[in-house]
Amino acid sequence: MLVYIDGQFYDEKDAKVSVFDHGLLYGDGVFEGVRAYNGRVFKLSEHIKRLYDSAKAIMLKVLISESEMIESVLEALRKNNLKDGYIRILITRGEGSLGIDPITCARSSVIIIADSLNLYPEEFYETGLAIISASVRRNSPDVVNPKIKSLNYINNIMAKIEARQAGVLEAIMLDRNGYVCECTGDNIFIVKNGVIKTPPVYLGVLKGITRDFVIEIARDLGYIFQEEIMTQYDIYTADECFLTGTAAEAIPVVMADSREISNGNVGEVTKSIIKEFRLRVAQEGWEI
């Protein structure tokens, strides 16, 4: 595998950053995850725009343009002969001192890794996931805004650890008032009485690119969609539940906190969303 670092490609064994990089020392940086399907990169422009927005929010200067970043992503896929895969783009603050002050970092650094990824085993797309509610609360917008995809993911990681300790793969994260925000790496949707619902972004929810795409699919398929504040009760009593994310795509949930959702089977609305999602991603996107 060849890894892009600041304009050059290195064999993965030689792809290195300084131990003084503030991305490593303090999680000072931002990232995006992008998917390629069938020789096309899905929603690449949207991911790059969000990446640069995240960088702007933390006053991190990116030394290449958005168009150069797009071309570098495509070249990383070409260099690795990947037509289907996952691309991780990182912008770090760069090498600096051991102090926290970012002014000591002379220049930012861009890293692009293109590889294969299967976040969840394929059988879970057929049978559904079990999830729990984590005790770790989601960062609120007045702490670290979840809209910033920063390299510091310890909030999500702590919730993921809880999920693993409970023997499941994912966890619901609540805000400080007990409202459902999202999962550790995915947005969450429910279906109730034929209406598809998801928490509003103002609660401290990442405005996921896959989330928005699924909302578009839902409307195109004729479903009613609503953003709505919800609690664990709404998850437990839903007719269906599913998660969305770049790596996860769209995946059903059939149990939450040991409570079966409806009859414990994957629902028809969820199946239709997944089917349409897979049809579209194979046909849309930037050609490699």
Q: Tell me which long-range contacts 222-228 makes (C-beta under 8 A, separation of at least 24).
A: 223/194, 223/195, 223/196, 223/269, 224/194, 224/195, 224/196, 225/195, 225/196, 225/197, 225/198, 226/195, 226/196, 226/197, 227/197, 227/198, 227/199, 227/200, 227/201, 228/197, 228/198, 228/199, 228/200
Give me the catalytic one of 43, 149, 160, 197: 149
147 annotated active-site? no
Neighbours of 253 (CB within 10 A): 27
238/195 Cα distance (integer angstroms): 10
Q: How far is CA 116 from CA 37, 77, 192, 220, in A?
A: 11, 11, 35, 30
Catalytic residues: 149
